[in-house]
Amino acid sequence: AQSVAQPEDQVNVAEGNPLTVKCTYSVSGNPYLFWYVQYPNRGLQFLLKYITGDNLVKGSYGFEAEFNKSQTSFHLKKPSALVSDSALYFCAVRVLSNFGNEKLTFGTGTRLTIIP
Q: Which residues bind another protein (CB under 8 A)?
A: 34, 36, 41-46, 49, 90, 94, 96, 99-104, 106-109
User: CA nearest 62: which of 76, 72, 74, 49?
Assistant: 76
Q: Which is nearer to another protein, 12 or 45 (CB)?
A: 45
The DSSP secondary-structure symbol of 100 reads: S
Shortest distance in whole angstroms from residue 13 CB to another protein: 21
CA angle 100, 50, 48 (to 5 degrees): 110
Q: Which is nearer to another protein, 13 or 23 (CB)?
A: 23
Q: Which is nearer to another protein, 36 or 67 (CB)?
A: 36
Residue 59 and residue 63: Cα distance in Å, rounded? Answer: 5
